[in-house]
Structure 1
Amino acid sequence: MRPYDAFLLISFGGPEGEDQVIPFLENVTRGRNIPRERLAEVGEHYFRFGGVSPINQQCRDLIAAITADFAEGGIDLPVYWGNRFWAPMLADTLARMREDGVRRVLAVPTSAYCNWSSRTAYVEDIARARAALGEDAPEVDLVRPFYDHPGFVEPLVEHTRAALDALPADQREGVRLLFSAHSIPTAMAEAAGGPEQGFGAQGVYGDQLAEVARLVVDRLDRDYPHEVVYQSRSGPPSQPWLEPDVNDRIEELAAEGVPAVVVVPHGFVSDHMEVKFDLDVEARETAEKLGLGYQRALSPGTHPAFVSMVSDLVREYSEAAERRRLGTLSRCAECTCDR
């Protein structure tokens, strides 16, 4: 086990004012030749909420909860925070850590699954930030994907129950659970482990999402009909992305006579902009237009079990504590540090 002298939360970042929206989106899409009009279109999602993404405040809340849990559990590590695309930037945080004398860091990303965008991109950003600092940059270990850790699954179970209870009784009987995650190109999904490695048609990412949906439903009061859907697609129409889209599926279910849907954002750690807009605005409007009952479950956020999971992961890596996981899926090609 490696000794660590700091903990680092790594997140996506987001604007906190209207003047920050386009510069933030330019950071996210740099090098991808995204048309300016597409940035303006996505920017409208943020302007609808005053140009403020919820994600930075959610990170502040999570850091406060982690810090308190560390203190209560006897974990003596300072807590730092760095973002990939907006302040506080990861490179700036690592520079401050170096100034503070930090040498070895254990990092947790605000992403539970395994694919290029939710894991490899974090690894590459860490490497770039360290390279910019030079040979005396702090060493950073990124924890394993935690999608099937009890601390991630249990909050989803509790929040799904609450969403089901919020439906009228006559809608609850025939409800369909839609477990929603960010869509990615099919090639990206397969790169982390596709059918040729024994995973499903939607790659290891799709298998992990299906596993979490199963783990949640298994812990509810009955076996609700459920499926995985996707949201937030941003690629060109010619490029295959994981499907079905949540809005398309809601329309199909309405045609089939399903009375209501509960959407569970199990692909996300917190209720950031893609949850608040894509599900609370667009998907809700789709359901209401078609006369379907609609409820959206909360993401894990700062649920006590999720906060405690962070402490579990620290002990797993620093003290050889038990590796807690509920699922049985094999590791994937992307997770070279997945022990």
Structure 2
Amino acid sequence: MSENGLSSAAANSSESETTQVPFANEASLHGPKHVTVPQEYDAIMLAGFGGPEGQDDVIPFLRNVTRGRGIPDERLEEVATHYRHFGGVSPINEHNRQLRQAIEDEMRRRGLDLPIYWGNRNWAPYLEEKVKEAADAGHTRILGVATSAYSSYSSCRQYREDFARAILDNGLEGKVRIDKVRQFFDVPGFVKPFADGVADALKGFADQGVAPEDIRVLFATHSIPTADAERSGPQELGLGEGGAYAAQHLAVGGQIMEQLREEGKAGAETQWELVYQSRSGPPSQPWLEPDVCDRIAELPAEGAKAVAVVPLGFLSDHMEVMWDLDEEAMEAAEEAGLHAVRTPTPGSHADFVSSVVDLIEERMQATPVDQRPHMTDLGPWFDVCRPGCCENVRLGFKPAASGVKP
């Protein structure tokens, strides 16, 4: 696929290419949209969200997630019931252990002898501790891989803030540099597991005698405040309502369905749409809609007989997949009288792991833009986030690595 409109629009920007990027290695220091100079790294940092691993961890973990918002424990306990339903254990940490090992194995297979650290934002092992551990071991030129594919405050900029905070809180400014691989929403290895899951779901429905026109495919992702969504990605791209966050999901969902139709695995009549889940803000605050369960309830009146729920916004089967989709969405489908299935997430799928290592090599080698794999017209995304990218309206701009200030 040739270089896209995103890169062309960015190239027309008047912003200076000499703007300094905080905490960056040399090839990224002056803010190129895509690096053009090979870069040496001495460690990889896998950055995750984190999750509790026992009943006693649940409330302390939720306090970490909601820090600064003044939410009392009794309200946190309402959310805690989801974790307690599964013994107080979120699978996200184990998924990241498996992912870290799989990335390490693939790197070794390719002859890349770099240590891989793993740290979380909200639970042990904490990112701040892992950055210090890397620095104490003499590793100061770090390439970060965040376990989130899309552009928004919580899925990109907040990880960049985490990197900056880890450097500043440990007194490592000027000593440790951290870059970050580009957002990977449309790299082949991330998209393929979702496409395979949709194909399997459609075949299963067909085997049950459901016609293609009676099937709905709902691509589900985490809802976020509309004000944050509008500010996701570079504002210069003018991606409209929902910003880059919605545009990226829609592009990937469309690519999957187009590919399956071309391969004869999906009917031309099979309808799909993007839906949202897991909103947590006050009712007065607008968040992205429609809600996945609300849409499922409406489908029978539209002639649907089956629904495939695809967790497109999620890398692995963590709590919001297991509870909000496997429990609540499947219950909504049962109440609506629909055949229903929830398709898999990439997790540590071999194709996804291969794409992660491709991204690491791409950054180290400064692969030319027109040789970088991507499956939508929005890719390949930026190596260095653009000024003001993914602002959080409530919190404002905090120090962040791997992006042009602010």
Q: TM-score range by the shorter chain?
A: over 0.9
1:154 aligned to 2:209? no
Q: Hey, what's the Cα distance between the residues in 2 that align with 1:281 and 1:274?
A: 10
Conservation of the 8 A alpha-carbon contact between 2:229 and 2:244: yes
Conservation of the 8 A alpha-carbon contact between 1:160 and 1:297: yes
Root mean square deviation of aligned Cα? 1.8
Partner residue of 2:208 out of 169, 174, 182:
169
Given the two structures, how large is their TM-score scaled by the length of structure 2? 0.80
Partner residue, 1:324:
373
Q: How does 1:2-151 map to 2 (within 5 A)?
A: 2-134=39-171, 135=173, 137-151=175-189
Q: CA deviation at 1:103?
A: 1.0
Given the two structures, how large is their TM-score scaled by the length of structure 1? 0.95
Partner residue, 1:334:
389
- Which whole-Å deviations, capped at 9, do the CAs of 1:32-78 have from their partners, x for residues lacking one? 12243321011000000000000000001111111110111111111
Sort the Cα spacing of 1:172 and 1:18 in 2 relative to 1 into closer, same or farther, 3 A.
farther
Q: Hey, what's the Cα distance between the residues in 1 that align with 2:274 and 2:167?
A: 37
Amino acid at match of 1:98: A
- In structure 1, the gaps of 5 or more residues are none
Conservation of the 8 A alpha-carbon contact between 2:230 and 2:240: no
1:217 aligned to 2:257? yes
Amino acid at match of 2:135: R
Sort the Cα spacing of 1:183 and 1:99 in 2 relative to 1 into closer, same or farther, 3 A.
same
Partner residue of 1:307 out of 342, 346, 353:
353
Q: Hey, what's the Cα distance between the residues in 2 that align with 1:286 and 1:136?
A: 53
Q: Hey, what's the Cα distance between the residues in 1 that align with 2:77 and 2:88?
A: 12
Partner residue, 2:314:
268
- Which whole-Å deviations, capped at 9, do the CAs of 1:257-288 have from their partners, x for residues lacking one? 21010011010111111000000000000110
Q: CA deviation at 1:193?
A: 4.7
Q: Hey, what's the Cα distance between the residues in 2 that align with 1:64 and 1:166?
A: 33
Amino acid at match of 1:57: E
- In structure 2, the gaps of 5 or more residues are 1-37, 391-401
Q: How does 1:220-231 map to 2 (within 5 A)?
A: 220=260, 221-222=265-266, 223=268, 224-231=270-277
1:285 aligned to 2:325? no
Partner residue, 1:240:
286
Conservation of the 8 A alpha-carbon contact between 2:39 and 2:366: no
Q: Hey, what's the Cα distance between the residues in 2 that align with 1:196 and 1:237?
A: 30
Tell me which of the two structures has the higher relative contact order, counting C-alpha pairs closer than 8 angstroms and 6 or more residues apart: 2
Equivalent pairs counted in the alignment come to: 338
Partner residue of 1:200 out of 240, 244, 262:
240
Query: What percent of counterpart residues are identical?
Result: 51
- Which whole-Å deviations, capped at 9, do the CAs of 1:280-338 have from their partners, x for residues lacking one? 00000011011111101101111111000111001111012332111112767627749
Structure 1 runs of 4+ with >6 Å offset: none
Q: Hey, what's the Cα distance between the residues in 1 that align with 2:320 and 2:232?
A: 23
Q: CA deviation at 1:195?
A: 8.4
